Structure 1
Amino acid sequence: MANLSNLEPQVVWHIFEQMCAHPRPSKHEEKVSAWIQKLAKDHNIECKEDKVGNLILRKSATAGMEDRKGVVLQAHMDMVPQKNSDIEHNFVTDPIDAYVDGEWVTARGTTLGADNGIGLAASLAVIFSDNIEHGPLEVLVTIDEEAGMTGAFGLEAGWLEGDILLNTDSEDEGEVYMGCAGGIDANIQFPLQHEAAPSDHQTFEIVIKGLKGGHSGVDIHLGRGNANKLLARFLKEAGRDIAVRLATINGGTLRNAIPREAFAIVTVAPAQREEFKACLEFFTQAIKKELSATEPFIEVTLTPIVEQPQVLTVDCQTRLIAALNGVFNGVVRMSDEVEGVVETSSNLGVVETQTDNVFIKCLIRSLSDSCRIDAQEMIASVFELAGGKVVLDGAYPGWKPDTTSPIMQIMRDVYEKEFGSVPKIMVIHAGLECGLFKTSYPNMDMASFGPTICFPHSPDEKVNITTVDMFWKYLQAILKAIPTK
């Protein structure tokens, strides 16, 4: 990572490089939080921690800017922990191995954490700087944005003093966001019934891997494969004519990341072994053709193993596979109000076999509360009919667009002045914390922006170096243009 600090703007990349050395997967932010608090102390910046673990840093206005409206720069400190299966990495203890790859910064085999690490680094760079003009300034650093928005849910009214909040968690330079989708988790517990596998059966492991994965919101419309859905599809197809018995099924690790890999342990009668292999080969060629434009590196393997596992009863297996195959995944509906934006979607993010249950996690997103409720009830209906227990949890509101927002107009004007073009004013199909902040701070004017980050929530995550410099210049120019109270 030695060359990251040589990039421009050096002050932002230097902080981000240090951040990569402090593990910060969701729900394990204590090390990065302690590092931020130490930096604040070293720079004589006021820093408070609230009861859920959010940090609030404050700094007085620079000379001549005391009469400006107060600004809150906001970022989250956690990152999505995703890695390739051939990489040894413990996100709780190990640093991120970031490096420069041409015009991008990426990481070796893991998520980079530019989401939202670059926005956090820029926010800290502003408040620790002695030569950036700004009015009364706060930096709000939230916890657990990626795994439940615990920090945003727990933020109390009265902690923030600013009039304007600038969220730095967007991922396309040249776009400014004024709204986002809400969401809810569907957590399914599917009880299992087991029996001994037929004594003459041979055991195999099926692996589907090599998919791109990605963010279950901003990438959901790109037509990428979902490894969990593909595996369920094959098991359903194979089970029509072949006595295949399922022992375990696993895939994905996070409900907000499109699953890149899925695994199943099955047994097959020797007399149907070749038919089973041919069925899998036919399926593999079919999905490679279907997904050739979006998933060029997909792999499907079948490996004999010695284990003689317990298998699911025929009835249990039938119901589980039917539910996994039947539950919808991907885009449900495009928005009528915002052209080109997904209105409602679902991601079958995690399937995990434990001793007596399969645990399944879906994340439903929507710009419309009524459409989100409809989608979550459809998912619940499928699994309940199959015998699963469904708990809908962690609902968070969308951020309703405000077309009269003063900060939106300022950001439009500043961008045009700085870069000679008009930014796109957008609504994003992802969960930004702004919707929750509006609950406690309904009168705060909000907008979201950031540099270009590709493939967030996957090991292919990368951030464009040039756009980080543009984001930094844009941020400083916005702070300078903040009006008086």
Structure 2
Amino acid sequence: MSVYLLWKMPDMEQLRDLSPNSLWQWFETICSIPHPSGHEIALRDHIQQWAQAEGLETQVDTVGNLIIRKPATVGMEDRKGVILQAHLDMVPQCNADKQHVFEQDPITTIIDGEWVRADGTTLGADNGIGMASALAVMAAQDIPHGPLEVLLTINEEAGMTGAFGLQAGLLKGDILINTDSEEEGDVYMGCAGGVDVQVNRTIGRQALPAGYQSFELTLSGLKGGHSGCDIHLGRGNANKLLARFLFGHAEELELCVADIRGGSLRNAIPREAGATIAVSAANADALKAMVDRYRGILSSELAATEPTLKLELSPADAPAQVFTTADQRTLLAMMHATPNGVIRMSDVFPGVVETSTNMGVVKTTGEQVEILFLVRSTIDSGRNMVENMLRALAFTAGADMEASGAYPGWKPDATSPVMQIVRDVYQEKFGKLPSIQVIHAGLECGLFKEPYPSLDMVSIGPTIRFPHSPDEKVDIASVGRYWELLVAVLGAIPDRNA
């Protein structure tokens, strides 16, 4: 079967020449169709049109998820039904010097030695490679399998809308293979849950004092990354690092803040942050000296993790108004005191983060400063603890706090039959046992358990580095091994009565 291209392909190195060809051909097509969170419909419709042209049954549910069904190959009709699951959307992040409109522009891919990456943007291998593998299976004529379904959900990265809205009774399969993991050789049987937290602080404003000079203070060049998978790597959070400087020096410099902002997604570690500030002409040289000193401190502290960190001070137009002194002090104290990063490591799963939080976005709009967090935990009590820590800080600072979109973790099941099948097939194919893991990221599996409590689930995928950042890349060889595993697992699924 062909991939049935409807979109003009951008100029890019030919991914389809990589192996397995069918998977990479699909990924090339996925990259050519813009699909950031909230804008997946064009990609979904393209896939549905292709499936219908190939005679496959399709269904779009009430929230916009796409389901595709394929009958079993001859002789395998009695096998347990398998659902291959991926999400349609990708995280839109690009470097500051990259002009890219994710709603309109295709992703330009680059084959860089053993990796595939994008040109200054996120690649969308999370979860485009998994999606491509599912569609390649549906397109193939030479892969033995039982009854198959593909479930492609919407808006996973920005709220798991598709998983939340999935209704009971639509899926017919017994086993779900989630393709959203990011380490080949690991088999995931559980994941963290999470909750979005929004803190709003009303800020009074006053006129900028006479004789003040204005500046832009910007922190950039950080690696960023996935707020679950990368939260334990010690990377800098631009919002927190900026707040640290401002809180530490605002009073001695009599510094005024007119605007503060940083990050763009609550589930990405922020790579850039900035503030419009002003000091008296008499303190301008002291400000420059303190910025230089702080740059040196950060360069020393984060030498291993953030070698391209930049802290820059540049002249700016004078703002008409700045934050009042009292409100500025309270806001900066709250931001500096707010927990961020790993809160606790798991006692049950060594090396796995149990609970974390990410100050993902800070935005000033008029007299409101909005701060967005994503709290993750493999246990509900840990998630609730951090949520209440943020609630307590907001209360102390006179801010409003709202938690929303809470989703459950996927409770590990060490007796899962499909997990054991994947483990055994992996050992047979590659001569070693895979690592059975719990991931500190929000897979949709936990949400699927509510409408489909009897689903037996597992998550596998290729090796993807630095998802949710422009450094995202996927290991080519690992994609081949992941594909071999997936195809072999489909052939090893037992009969329904086994």
Q: Is 2:24 the counterpart of 1:13?
A: yes
In structure 1, what is the equivalent of residue 9 of structure 2?
none
CA distance in 2, matches of 1:457, 1:380: 27
3-state DSSP of counterpart to 1:85: coil
Given candidates 129, 143, 148, the residue that maps to 2:159 is 148
TM-score between the two structures when normalised by the length of structure 1: 0.99
In structure 1, what is the equivalent of residue 465 of structure 2?
454
CA distance in 1, matches of 2:338, 2:491: 50
**1:201-280 equivalence runs, <5 A:** 201-280=212-291
CA distance in 1, matches of 2:287, 2:84: 56
Q: Which amino acid aligns with 2:198?
A: N
**1:394-433 equivalence runs, <5 A:** 394-433=405-444
CA contact (8 A) 2:13 2:111 kept: no
State, as a whole percentage, how many aligned pairs show the same letter: 55
Q: Is 2:373 the counterpart of 1:362?
A: yes
**1:317-332 equivalence runs, <5 A:** 317-332=328-343
CA distance in 2, matches of 1:103, 1:156: 41
CA RMSD of aligned residues (A): 0.7
CA distance in 1, matches of 2:172, 2:60: 15
Please state how far the C-alpha of 1:389 moved relative to its aligned partner: 0.7
Given candidates 53, 59, 62, the residue that maps to 1:51 is 62
CA shift in 2, pair 1:309/1:85, >3 Å: farther
CA distance in 2, matches of 1:481, 1:167: 17
CA contact (8 A) 2:215 2:277 kept: yes
In structure 1, what is the equivalent of residue 450 of structure 2?
439
**1:48-447 equivalence runs, <5 A:** 48-447=59-458
CA distance in 2, matches of 1:240, 1:208: 20
CA contact (8 A) 1:185 1:363 kept: yes
Please state how far the C-alpha of 1:384 moved relative to its aligned partner: 2.1
CA distance in 2, matches of 1:420, 1:307: 66
CA contact (8 A) 1:248 1:264 kept: yes
Please state how far the C-alpha of 1:387 moved relative to its aligned partner: 1.6
CA offsets per residue over residues 64-121 of structure 1, 9 Å max, x none? 1111000000000000000111111111111011110110000011000000000000
3-state DSSP of counterpart to 1:231: helix
CA distance in 1, matches of 2:49, 2:210: 62
3-state DSSP of counterpart to 2:245: helix
Q: Which amino acid aligns with 2:101?
A: N
CA distance in 1, matches of 2:45, 2:333: 47
3-state DSSP of counterpart to 2:269: coil
CA contact (8 A) 2:426 2:485 kept: yes
CA distance in 2, matches of 1:286, 1:98: 36
3-state DSSP of counterpart to 1:8: coil
Structure 2: unaligned runs, 5 residues or longer: 1-11
3-state DSSP of counterpart to 1:115: helix
Please state how far the C-alpha of 1:2 moved relative to its aligned partner: 3.6
CA distance in 2, matches of 1:134, 1:211: 45
In structure 1, what is the equivalent of residue 5 of structure 2?
none
TM-score between the two structures when normalised by the length of structure 2: 0.97
CA distance in 2, matches of 1:327, 1:119: 36
CA distance in 1, matches of 2:369, 2:103: 25
State the number of aligned residues: 485
Please state how far the C-alpha of 1:367 moved relative to its aligned partner: 0.6
CA contact (8 A) 2:258 2:319 kept: no
CA contact (8 A) 1:45 1:128 kept: no
CA offsets per residue over residues 119-159 of structure 1, 9 Å max, x none? 00000010121111100000000000000000000000111
In structure 2, what is the equivalent of residue 29 of structure 1?
40
CA distance in 1, matches of 2:364, 2:137: 46
Please state how far the C-alpha of 1:259 moved relative to its aligned partner: 0.2
CA distance in 1, matches of 2:149, 2:422: 19
Given candidates 472, 477, 480, the residue that maps to 1:466 is 477
3-state DSSP of counterpart to 1:456: coil
CA offsets per residue over residues 285-342 of structure 1, 9 Å max, x none? 1111011111111000000113333100001101110111010000000001100000
CA distance in 2, matches of 1:72, 1:236: 51
Please state how far the C-alpha of 1:163 moved relative to its aligned partner: 0.4
3-state DSSP of counterpart to 1:336: coil
3-state DSSP of counterpart to 2:252: coil
3-state DSSP of counterpart to 1:254: coil
3-state DSSP of counterpart to 1:36: helix
| Runs of 4+ displaced beyond 6 Å | none
CA distance in 2, matches of 1:19, 1:179: 28
3-state DSSP of counterpart to 1:303: strand
Please state how far the C-alpha of 1:281 moved relative to its aligned partner: 1.0
3-state DSSP of counterpart to 1:183: strand
In structure 1, what is the equivalent of residue 3 of structure 2?
none
CA distance in 1, matches of 2:240, 2:317: 27
3-state DSSP of counterpart to 2:32: coil
